[in-house]
Structure 1
Amino acid sequence: MSNRCVVTADPDIASADADADIDIETFYDALAAARRPVVTAEDLATTAGCTVEVANEALAALADESEVQRLDVDDESAVWAPERTAGATERVTVFPERRDIVVDEPEQYTRALLTQFAHLEETNSESGYIYAVREEDIWNAPYESLPELLATIRSALGGHHEALESWVEGQWERAHKFRLTTHEDGYVVLEAKSADLLGNVAEPRLDDGVLRARLDDETAWVAEERTADLKQTLYEAGYPVQDHRNLDTGDPLPMDLTLELRPYQSDWIARFADAGSGVLVGPPGSGKTVAALGIMADIEGETLILVPSRELAAQWRENLLNETTLSPEQVGEYHGGSKEIRPVTIATYQTAGMDRHRSLFDSRKWGLIVYDEVHHIPSPVHRRSAQLQTKHRLGLTATPVRETDDQQQIYTLVGQPIGTNWEALFEAGYVAEPEVEIRFLPWASETHRNEYGSATGHEKRQLAATNPAKIREISAILHENRGSKAIVFVEYIEQGDQIAEALGVPFISGETPHARRSKLFGRFRGGQLDTIVVSRVGDEGIDLPDTEVAIAASGLGGSRRQGAQRAGRTMRPVGKARMYVLATRGSREEDFARKRTKHLAARGVRVQEAEPLAFGDGRVADEE
């Protein structure tokens, strides 16, 4: 196309190349600069260095060429999004009153949009992808304004749905009824949009002592040590609180990074700086830890890093010393093996949540608290650590999901989600999108099948999980992927021992001494071991780079987050990345296998069923 930019008197625009064309690449540059999936003509004009009129003409031309699509936000304004490239098979059906969305064979772009304002409830071959739009999805939507959110909803759903959008608008307003601020004299204040909200919503629900006194009809003095209780109570009442307090950063801690950031990591840091607190959500291998180091360098305040395990504490210390200008004297660890409080302190959740240790952390003014594997926060002991006072809170997670569906507590206690486009990371080669295969195996023998038929309860589940036929299939998978680094996940110790013995590789479980466990993980990271078998101790909190194959041999009855964590071990910048989920055919594992991979499907990862390698006909294996 031939729309030429126009030089104007605006000094920011005057330097633009007058001969530059506005093509689809310029449009995508504007999307990246705006940090959202839609742009205005003003956004495009700023990126292209031209007038808004020329940008509007260019957008209209791109729409005529089916490159972009116009989305009307209100009667007078519009935003623009990439043209949908869905095939003829994609179909979106909206049930506005129930706030349900059913999508048949959705493309990855559609799923990426939906995850910004909806929750994946189910995925199956009969009903497609079923999403629900919940209150917390709107409260936590990563948008600065309602029009931007509505534009994304219309882009995902392919049109305007008045009843749904009216409800969304109501929920957006609820999320902006209360906010915490700092009074000029230094104490915390709760501000309500109206006197009715303060008197009839907040005061009756809050425990005695949370509010110290009324300041006027719409504001009240808050007990600083009870702010977490206030936020949680009002959230549960349907009124999330915006936190705009000015908290101390503690002593300054100048530091710089010694490595180069990826573009989306820089974006994470910029968005965190705007928000002040938040949860970085991205796949394993995307560099959330590096982004956290960048946020530390941006804040330059004393930092407390909370982790689920001592192994992860040691890895954080290594990263801090290798990738920043901090000295060893500035970094300490505080857990069962070490007790050091330093300007940067790495502690386990368990230790920081204990009353006898908590006072040590509470007595220091932290500029930043980092919550690694932040999905631990809602559990009782770990939740106490969220009440530690700090100016900034940063959560890191790939899968902010708990079985109790209380992930909203994470955003209440830490901050709103700051996500990234997982598909863009895959396409850019920063992480490798795993190929996930579910393989349904026959029973190892008729005897094993009969034992399952007569068993009940937990014994029934354990028999299916430890079906000996899985050992043959694991061997076949490893042979097919020989030369690749592989992890085999198990739930039961006896099964782990049997698989490790059959393969001639180490088995790492909670019973493995800490020193040996660290040594084996180190050998795997260093390439001296190419295959390990791990129990749940290996599901999270351990950085295992370059893992190319993950095999879930058992544990399908565990948490949904566990399944995503295991698949995430293969999300690394390598040539191929595969996950194999093994389930015994004709048992409840079939259903578990499908359910436990739906979160990967929500992130744009295709999950397929495949025939086992070791059992061609799918019937009962021969007795050995």
Structure 2
Amino acid sequence: MTVRLAFEDGTLRVEHDGDGPPTDGVDSLPGVESDDRTGTGRAPAMAYANLVAYLDHREIPYEDDALHADTLDVASAYELRDYQQGALDAWQTGTEGGDGAPRPRWGVLELPTGSGKTVIGLKAIEALGTAALVVVPTIDLLTQWKRELGREFDREIGQLGGGQQVLGPVTVATYDSAYLRADDLGDQFGLVVFDEVHHLGGEGFRDIARMLVAPARMGLTATFERPDNAHEVVADLVGDVAYRLSADDLAGDHLAEYDVKRLEVPLTAAERERYEDAQGTFTDYLQQSSVQLRSPSDYQELVKRSGNDPRAREALLAKQRARRIVRESDAKVEELARILDRHRRDRVIVFAASTDLVYRLSERFLLPAITHETGASERREILEKFRSGDYSRVVTANVLDEGVDVPDANVAVVFAGSGSEREFTQRLGRVLRPKEDGGRALLYELVSADTAEERVADRRR
């Protein structure tokens, strides 16, 4: 008896030709279910690696028509640092699946910004020698990966996204393009690298991993865990964390030493009065309605309730007013003025909480501004002038948090932010690249004293 594997319509088709194992039919194979319409078995494409390992272990003969990945002969001039080699070795060993079976060449590498995750991905492609797909969340990252891969491997690199749809043995795709073309890509790559792999937790993007045969899977991120716990789904699709290092682990040897300074600034009397009134409206509603906010999903339920409950809507609007008061207080603006004056010779990135605030600070301090409204060419020009030293400071919202090659800076100011650990880690990472003079990096947190923002800052840290 021979089992036959084929890729069809984004899934694996599994069949065999008669007597012999598996004696109970193809649905006795791991992950395979009977398809009464065709008289064959079906399994998610991502089950390929586990299924082949099972057949090999049981010495069940099979014909593999599911994976059509080209072999690849490439080499990179990079030499891995000790921790990068450790990460690659850990990924090669793999992680354990939900069924307890080992999954070699599966897993997520969680390393801080600036630690060279891209280099590890390059070396994984080189080591496996198979057609590889790199999936990224932004056009900026697509451009960076394509440039790096083309330079190191000295070959044309395929691109899906950013106005191009060109496949190659090594291809870089945005999550959006990979999702739209998952049916076409499914059997063509032996390795898939998901950069900023936490994005794979999004409902639609999960199908990219499910519909790829790719037996080798690598996730790269600085912050794997998601507040909605969708990282547990990502672990099923790519593997759990195989290797993890923090900024503290690498500070001094491979990243800059750093300090975090939290500056608590007071509200003015007028701001305090407006804040207490707005915050009181919000908390009064929660108490009277017996609503408890323990997670982001609880807050979303409150948002849904506001659609038909005028009091809930009033409470949410009051919360927004309170949040804006503490995020944009006059004392914060004055404190920022002192910081910018103190660091006139440094390269400074100021992180604000909204586009409106970015433009307000840009006008107040004559800072180049980068927001989601900034065109790609203008953004490149600003970052290039920041890199060359023509600009010594920029202000942004969350555009530079990830997916953009930010030039070396040594001071970051979180003027206002969310309670997200990911956001904090990514912003800290923007100043952690090693300094030529061996100097320390510095991150300021501006927090409005005696407000809910203190709790947000504690959660962020």
Q: TM-score, length-normalised on structure 1?
A: 0.56
Correspondence list, 1:206-285, <5 A = 211-212=33-34, 223-225=42-44, 227=46, 244=53, 248=67, 250-275=69-94, 276-285=105-114
Residue 585 of structure 1, aligned match among 443, 446, 449: 449
Q: Per-residue displacement from partner, 1:13-57 (whole Å, max 9, x unpaired)?
A: xxxxxxxxxxxxxxxxxxxxxxxxxxxxxxxxxxxxxxxxxxxxx
After superposition, the Cα gap between the structure-2 partners of 1:257 and 1:284, relative to the gap in structure 1 and judged at 3 Å, is same
Give the letter for the 1:449 counterpart.
R
Hey, what's the Cα distance between the residues in 2 that align with 1:419 and 1:289?
15
Hey, what's the Cα distance between the residues in 1 that align with 2:368 and 2:107?
39
Hey, what's the Cα distance between the residues in 1 that align with 2:225 and 2:415?
22
Question: What's the offset of the Cα at 1:533?
Answer: 0.8
SS of the residue corresponding to residue 219 of structure 2 reads strand
Residue 430 of structure 2, aligned match among 560, 569, 572: 569
Show the counterpart of 1:429. Answer: 253
Question: What's the offset of the Cα at 1:288?
Answer: 0.8
**1:302 is aligned to 2:166:** no
Q: Per-residue displacement from partner, 1:329-357 (whole Å, max 9, x unpaired)?
A: x2022114222222221111122223xx3
SS of the residue corresponding to residue 224 of structure 1 reads strand
SS of the residue corresponding to residue 44 of structure 2 reads helix
**1:315 is aligned to 2:144:** yes
Q: Contact conserved, 1:311 with 1:518, CA < 8 A, in 2?
A: no
Hey, what's the Cα distance between the residues in 2 that align with 1:361 and 1:501?
47
Correspondence list, 1:186-225, <5 A = 186=5, 211-212=33-34, 223-225=42-44
Give the letter for the 1:342 counterpart.
G
Hey, what's the Cα distance between the residues in 1 that align with 2:410 and 2:163?
32
Question: What's the offset of the Cα at 1:427?
Answer: 5.3
**1:359 is aligned to 2:189:** no
Q: Contact conserved, 1:279 with 1:416, CA < 8 A, in 2?
A: yes
Question: What's the offset of the Cα at 1:224?
Answer: 3.2
Hey, what's the Cα distance between the residues in 1 that align with 2:33 and 2:74?
38
Residue 375 of structure 1, aligned match among 198, 209, 226: 198
Q: Contact conserved, 2:112 with 2:245, CA < 8 A, in 1?
A: no
Q: Contact conserved, 1:250 with 1:301, CA < 8 A, in 2?
A: yes
Hey, what's the Cα distance between the residues in 2 that align with 1:544 and 1:227?
35
Correspondence list, 1:202-601, <5 A = 211-212=33-34, 223-225=42-44, 227=46, 244=53, 248=67, 250-275=69-94, 276-322=105-151, 324-327=152-155, 330-354=156-180, 357-362=181-186, 364-387=187-210, 388-422=212-246, 425-426=249-250, 429-443=253-267, 445-455=268-278, 456-557=318-419, 559-574=420-435, 575-597=439-461
Correspondence list, 1:16-95, <5 A = none
After superposition, the Cα gap between the structure-2 partners of 1:332 and 1:528, relative to the gap in structure 1 and judged at 3 Å, is farther
After superposition, the Cα gap between the structure-2 partners of 1:496 and 1:504, relative to the gap in structure 1 and judged at 3 Å, is same
Give the letter for the 1:307 counterpart.
V
After superposition, the Cα gap between the structure-2 partners of 1:479 and 1:396, relative to the gap in structure 1 and judged at 3 Å, is same
Show the counterpart of 1:160. Answer: none
Q: Contact conserved, 1:286 with 1:425, CA < 8 A, in 2?
A: no
Q: Contact conserved, 2:223 with 2:422, CA < 8 A, in 1?
A: yes
Hey, what's the Cα distance between the residues in 1 that align with 2:81 and 2:75?
16
Hey, what's the Cα distance between the residues in 1 that align with 2:53 and 2:396?
44
SS of the residue corresponding to residue 405 of structure 1 reads coil
Q: Contact conserved, 2:46 with 2:214, CA < 8 A, in 1?
A: no
Hey, what's the Cα distance between the residues in 1 that align with 2:388 and 2:41?
52
User: RCO (CA 8 Å, sep 6+): is it higher in 1 or 2?
Assistant: 2
Give the letter for the 2:356 counterpart.
E
SS of the residue corresponding to residue 141 of structure 2 reads helix
Question: What's the offset of the Cα at 1:571?
Answer: 2.2
Hey, what's the Cα distance between the residues in 2 that align with 1:262 and 1:550?
27
CA-based RMSD of the aligned residues comes to 3.0
Q: Contact conserved, 2:386 with 2:407, CA < 8 A, in 1?
A: no
Q: TM-score, length-normalised on structure 2?
A: 0.74
Hey, what's the Cα distance between the residues in 2 that align with 1:460 and 1:351?
39
Q: Contact conserved, 1:464 with 1:589, CA < 8 A, in 2?
A: yes
Q: Contact conserved, 1:212 with 1:222, CA < 8 A, in 2?
A: yes
- How many equivalent residue pairs? 376
SS of the residue corresponding to residue 357 of structure 2 reads helix
